[in-house]
Structure 1
């Protein structure tokens, strides 16, 4: 079962999108053209592929999970893209904390 909040990682883009619910995911994806390589990362680090099944968005859990360090690297790349935060000051203890930083 997916642990909210999550973040959406778009293939080939450092921008991350904060997602606080399945409804929020549906809203974000309705305006996006997403690829087969885009994925959602939940607060525990589990990765989910986004699929459209019978006209409805579904999340399919993958066998991989991100470590806190990997999630932190994604957040750093995202923040570097925005050029608004000193990257050396970005540090998290958990994946959930990393994802929560996107909410602000």
Structure 2
């Protein structure tokens, strides 16, 4: 079971997309063209591939889990692109805290 909120990581792009829920995922991502290397990370660090299942977007869990440090690195790259936060000040204790920071 997916632990919301999540973040979408598009291959080749440092921008992350905050996803509050499955309906939010469907509304924000319905018109995207996904690569096989795009993935969603849930609040526990579990990774999911994005697949078209019965004509609808779906998430399939894969055997990959990101640590809090790995998620922090993704968020630092994301924030670097925005150039609005001092990267050395980005620290979190959990994946959930890190993902929730994307709403700010």
Q: After TM superposition, is the score higher than 0.5?
A: yes
CA contact (8 A) 2:38 2:50 kept: yes
CA distance in 2, matches of 1:35, 1:11: 7
Q: What residue is the counterpart of 1:88 in the other structure? A: 88
TM-score (norm 2): 0.97
CA distance in 2, matches of 1:84, 1:30: 29
CA distance in 2, matches of 1:28, 1:35: 16
SS at match of 1:7: strand
Report the RMSD for the aligned CA atoms in angstroms.
0.6
Structure 1 residues 31-55: Cα deviation after superposition (integer angstroms, max 9, x where no partner): 3221111100000000000000111
SS at match of 1:81: helix
CA distance in 2, matches of 1:67, 1:76: 14
Instruction: Tell me how far 1:29 sits from its aligned partner.
Output: 1.1
TM-score (norm 1): 0.97
Unpaired runs of at least 5, structure 2: none
Q: What residue is the counterpart of 1:6 in the other structure? A: 6
Q: What residue is the counterpart of 2:23 in the other structure? A: 23
Unpaired runs of at least 5, structure 1: none
Would you say how many aligned residue pairs link Structure 1 and Structure 2? 104
